[in-house]
Structure 1
């Protein structure tokens, strides 16, 4: 397995930003995590798609994490932000691998998106994001969190056609949950980056992607800055 024991500053900033977003979503569900020196961890099982731990430094060890998350039921997951952990002997399997990405401050050009406003719009955003398969993963309490913003694009009928979550920490904006209902990731990234430039000018943009989504991010001007992997303990 490829490892990154000497991560770039951009990868470190992206990992911290992503941990902040995971913590915020968990708080909205009534789950309080712990941001330690080596990792953010949750003592309770986190919501679907979200990890029970996110490492913040390549020096994190299994001992810094496993005693701080719930291993009593199947499904525990760890975001190994620098691809330096080996959790195989602890019953984990690699769920997927990805790359942290970084974009220099984008320009405010092209069509920008709107901010999700109110519970009804958030419900519609989630429905479009999940193609109707998710409800309640993003509680309305998140709309009052000043560090995290839901972005959306609408068609002429007022239907959500694309969106993302923008999380601010330090000098960066982290983009997660980017989607396009029609599958046009290139157009989605163009609109998302134009919105970031308008709302938070001069900030660098970070995130992580894999596969075809990574290819679309690279076409949008992102550069890969380091590997990560997500581990899952199925039993």
Structure 2
């Protein structure tokens, strides 16, 4: 996402960080190891512009003294490769062109005004798959559910899951069916909180640890 917006990040031993502000909803730093050094991490991001954020992947940082407060807490979740896939009456596809990405983004955004977040450059990333779902029957070609899948060597991460009509309960079956087809040997990971976490657990995920997102100022 950052590359699609022209923002360059850098991996370090303890964290990934971007020196300039990242796109809306995306953190300026992500810890990659427990007990990351606070001062070194904060020095790598822009805390002068409003809204800087840190994804504390192990929920073990103390950033209050650096001017941050907790935005939310959540749970990492894992679904094993080969787990049974629920049935769905939706048909899935992978977005492959800017016009379809625009339709997906408008459905995801649901009128909030942030559809421009998903730029065509995202489609050039070979490890990113934007999954959409439409009604399987009839002439209705509306995008009604979807997610973004990011593949690594060992797992596939899921974010931006949405279901226009029935929320994540409708979205997870078709998205999991797509992921099983695209990545049959990879477990699925993500993070959720509240009611959405409870839905994910109903669809075969297990909680594997806490995370915390901090934001600066405000």
Q: TM-score, normalised by structure 1?
A: 0.86
Task: Please state if 1:215 is matched with 2:195.
Answer: no
SS at match of 1:128: helix
In the alignment, structure 1 residue 170 sits paired with structure 2 residue 146: no
Structure 2 residue 160 is matched with structure 1 residue 160:
no
What's 1:85 paired with? Answer: 61
Q: Distance in 2 between matches of 1:144 and 1:107?
A: 31
Find the counterpart in structure 2 of residue 34 from structure 1: 10
Aligned residues: CA RMSD: 1.3
Q: How does 1:188-199 map to 2 (within 5 A)?
A: 188-199=171-182
What secondary structure does 2:130 align onto?
Answer: strand
Q: CA deviation at 1:190?
A: 1.0
TM-aligned CA deviation for residue 109 of structure 1 = 5.8
**Equivalent residue, structure 1, for 2:87:** 110
Measure the CA separation in 2 of the matches of 1:135 and 1:188. Answer: 19
Match of 1:136 among 106, 112, 116: 116
In structure 2, the gaps of 5 or more residues are none
In the TM superposition, what whole-angstrom CA distance separates every residue of 1:108-150 from its partner, at most 9, and x where no partner exists? 5634511112111111111111102223201101111100100
Gaps of 5+ in 1: 1-24
The total of aligned residue pairs comes to 211
- Is the contact made by 2:108 and 2:162 (CA closer than 8 Å) also made in structure 1? yes
Which structure shows the bigger proportion of residues in helix conformation?
Answer: 1
| CA distance, structure 2, for counterparts of residue 40 and residue 107 of structure 1 | 34
SS in 2 for 1:160: coil
Other structure's SS at 1:54 match: strand
**Is the Cα contact below 8 Å between 1:26 and 1:47 reproduced in 2?**
yes
2:22 match: 46
Distance in structure 2 (CA, Å) of the matches to 1:131 and 1:232: 25
Deviation at 1:107, TM superposition (A): 4.0
Contact 2:53 2:215 in 1 (8 A): yes
Q: For residue 147 of structure 1, what is the aligned residue in structure 2?
A: 127
| Structure 1 stretches of at least 4 aligned residues deviating more than 4 Å after TM superposition | none
Please report how far the alpha carbon of residue 73 of structure 1 lies from its aligned counterpart in structure 2 after TM superposition: 1.8
